[in-house]
Chain A
């Protein structure tokens, strides 16, 4: 039996999850674009509403999830509403983190099945302000400006290492408050 928690999930599980899925899809198709999700959601303490909405939409009993230590207090709520299998960070299909995990610490897929690579759901401080980056790649007609507060100082170099693995490599979903943006593995990131 799952551990009950006293906070609800989506008010309308079908439509709200579809809306969140749609936002993730749009964010990944147009890297760096910012979308609002999960309004009205009341997730447990360390989780932002966008993080919670993405998890409720993407994670279920057939996916594996690794949760960073700082976000562990949300484990019971996630187990109750999504019931994911917990896995070590190196094997998990989804990684929930509050600091960018090292590339070697997560599953980057294999050349045969690159789609098995982990999707990292990263909770950051703010989207739309902070460190500035220029994004280019599929989905972007022109290089686009992107600002985020909460990524490590050497993010551009670490992302270049991830980009070099293509078609392997992680996809990154950034969540802050009720807003999310995404960096698929195909995007190149330049500082400034």
Chain B
């Protein structure tokens, strides 16, 4: 994903991406050491729906409708800020938790502590998991020289 030119939006995109990949248990565990988040007022959801995923799966790199994935979204208000979350799968609790953290991160008084205590460790774990699976995949990599030539 290309970061948004507006840095505030780009920052929110990056923490929402981390929250979207995080498990409910991990989020709850990291939140346990912090003062409780403000009580949320649910504005919409959590509701389950389908999103069409498009990808470049052909050799030519053109967009292709890969398939639909299940998504749960939730919007809520906590204190003065509105938090939003869209997560893969159908786990309403996870969407609520992610939206509450998103709302908290937009609150200047909570932002720094939440970012240090929740987002940074989650991002580090996700990066490590990604690196590990990439390393495993790289070990079994097969070079398709013919296809590579076709693509250029």
Contact = CB atoms under 8 A, between A and B. Distances in A.
B25 to A, nearest CB: 27
A7 B42 CA distance: 9
Interface residues of A, number: 9
Interface string A1-31: 0001111110001000000000000000000
Interface residues of B, number: 9
Interface centre among B42, B43, B77 (most CB of A within 10 A): B43
Main secondary structure of the interface of A (DSSP, over half): loop
Interface string A131-147: 00000000000000000
Interface string A76-88: 0000110000000
Interface string A110-139: 000000000000000000000000000000
B130 interface: no
A8 B46 CA distance: 12
Contacts, number: 21
A7 B47 CA distance: 17
A146 to B, nearest CB: 36
B118 interface: no
A6 B43 CA distance: 7
A163 to B, nearest CB: 40
B77 A80 contact: no
Nearest to A8: B43
Nearest to A9: B44
Contacts of A81: 44
A6 B80 CA distance: 9
Nearest to A6: B77
Contacts of A80: 43-44, 75
A9 B43 contact: yes
17 contacts: A4-B43, A4-B75, A4-B82, A5-B43, A5-B82, A6-B43, A6-B77, A6-B82, A7-B43, A8-B41, A8-B42, A8-B43, A8-B44, A9-B43, A9-B44, A13-B47, A80-B43
Interface of A: 4-9, 13, 80-81
